[in-house]
Amino acid sequence: MGVKLVAYFDVVKQEKGLPGQIRLAMLTKMSSITASAAEDSLANIQKFEAAIAKIREERLE
Amino acid sequence: MCERYDGSVSLSTKLVVLLLCCLVGLGAIAAIALHQVDTVRRDYQVLLDGPVAQARAAQIVQVDFKKQVQEWKNILLRGHDAADLETYLAKFKAREFEVQTGSRQLLEQIEDSDTRERLMRFIQAHDQLRADYQGALDALAQTDHDYRIADGMVRGRDRPPTDLLDEVADRLITWCESELIAQQERIGRARRMVFATSSILAIGLLMAGAAVARSVSVRLARLRAVSDRLAQGDIEGLRIDVSGTDEIGALGESMKGVLAAFETLLAEARVTIDSNPITVTMRGPP
């Protein structure tokens, strides 16, 4: 349940820190807690992938 | 960072559509009302050109015929003077001609078979009466204006055509009155139709307006409640149930992101606090 989704939070934390995590939650409308309870469905994974890609393009402070 | 709303149906679009619907509705009501007014005007024109005109023509023939008979009596009573006789005779002939032409013109207009039949009988009776009057006039000339002989030749002969003409006029007036009543009923129906149509349109527009207003106010109230709880940090079990493709729906979606970010921030704060417990030491005054 949501293992992959939670992993995205870890990835973005390593790359962008706390602002990256907050930005990921905002873009996906899912907190890390919600993500852990959500399905690792294709739709959710695509949503997180798209959000991660967007965050990587952004300059977060 | 700026997120732009790209929803398919914005709130302003809904309001513009509602306004357009109102305008179209008002236009439709005005068009229906104008159409009904035009229909009533045309119906009245048909009524005036048909039943009213025929009834009026019949009454004119009635009056002319009565005047013709009156002129005959003038000939009998005052025709002993040659000049008066000439005057009354000219008036008598003029009335006779008017009755003849008027009744024949009326016959061309009348469609009802019974009324036509009565008018034709009147025309025949009037033609016969004309011959009778001519015979009486000849007798008057031959008897040195002995009006009793002339009067005896035509006495009472004008009653049958008078009765026939009265029947024709009565039938036409009755028809005219029934058409007027029917016209009033048509106007009543048209009025009810315009009222019903405009009421349905008005109710529809009111319901649509109320639906839009309710949709906006209910969802804004939900968002305000969410915002109040976020402001108090009370996010336990908080869910945002605001949907829609307009700006409010987009705001709801945005607030879902804010809530998710808030939850993530709190979770991270808890993790940080758990891994780095803070020790506070209370000291007394120096």
The DSSP line for B183-201 is: HHHHHHHHHHHHHHHHHHH
3-class DSSP string for A16-46:
HHHHHHHHHHHHHCCCHHHHHHCCCCHHHHH
pLDDT at B274 over 70: yes
Contact B186, B43 (CB under 8 A): yes
Contact B2, B240 (CB under 8 A): no
% pLDDT > 90, chain B: 46
Q: Which residue has the tokens 């873009």?
A: A27
Beta strands of chain B (E only): which ranges? none
Q: How far is CA A4 from the centre of its chain?
A: 10
Q: How far is CA B76 from the centre of its chain?
A: 57
Residues 111-150 of B with CB under 8 A from A: none
CA-CA-CA-CA torsion sign (A59, A60, A61, B6): positive
Q: How far is CA B180 from the centre of its chain?
A: 15
From the list B1, B253, B264, the residue facing A31 with the nearest CB is B264
Rounded to whole angstroms, the maximal C-alpha distance in chain B is 163
pLDDT of residue B212: 85
Chain B nearest CA to A22, separation (Å): 5
CB contacts, 8 Å: B261 with chain A: 22-23, 25-26, 31
- Is A31's CB within 8 Å of B256's CB? no
Task: Say how far apart CA B86 and CA B264 lie, in whole Å.
Answer: 124
CA nearest neighbour of B263 among A43, A58, A9 = A9
The one-character DSSP state at B136 is: H
Structure tokens at B88: 């009354």
Mean pLDDT of all residues in A44-54: 95
pLDDT at A34 over 50: yes
pLDDT of residue B75: 94
Provide the 3-class DSSP secondary structure of residue B22. helix
Structure tokens at A34: 């919600």
3-class DSSP string for B140-160:
HHHCCCCHHHHHHHHCCCCHH
Task: Say how far apart CA B44 and CA B52 lie, in whole Å.
Answer: 10
Domain ranges of chain A: 3-57
Rounded to 5°, the CA angle B222-B224-B225 comes to: 65
Average confidence score pLDDT of chain B: 88
pLDDT at B241 over 50: yes
Rounded to whole angstroms, the maximal C-alpha distance in chain A is 31
pLDDT at A35 over 50: yes
CB contacts, 8 Å: B257 with chain A: 25-29
| H/E element, B85 | helix B82-109
pTM above 0.80, yes or no: no
Domain ranges of chain B: 29-191, 201-275
Q: Mean pLDDT: which of B29-38, B61-70, B80-89, B268-277 is highest?
A: B61-70
Angle in degrees, 0-180, between the axes of helices A3-28 and A42-57, rounded to the nearest 10: 60
Q: Which residue has the tokens 């005047």?
A: B67
pLDDT at B7 over 60: no
Contacts of B127 (CB under 8 A, 6+ apart): B100
From the list B256, B267, B268, the residue facing A29 with the nearest CB is B256
Q: So what's the architecture of B29-191 in CATH?
A: Up-down Bundle (1.20)
Closest-CA residue of chain A to B257? A26
- Is B263's CB within 8 Å of A31's CB? yes
Mean pLDDT of all residues in A22-41: 91
Contacts of B215 (CB under 8 A, 6+ apart): B244, B248
For chain A, the residues whose C-beta falls within 8 A of a C-beta of chain B are 9, 18, 21-34, 58
**ipTM exceeding the 0.90 mark:** no
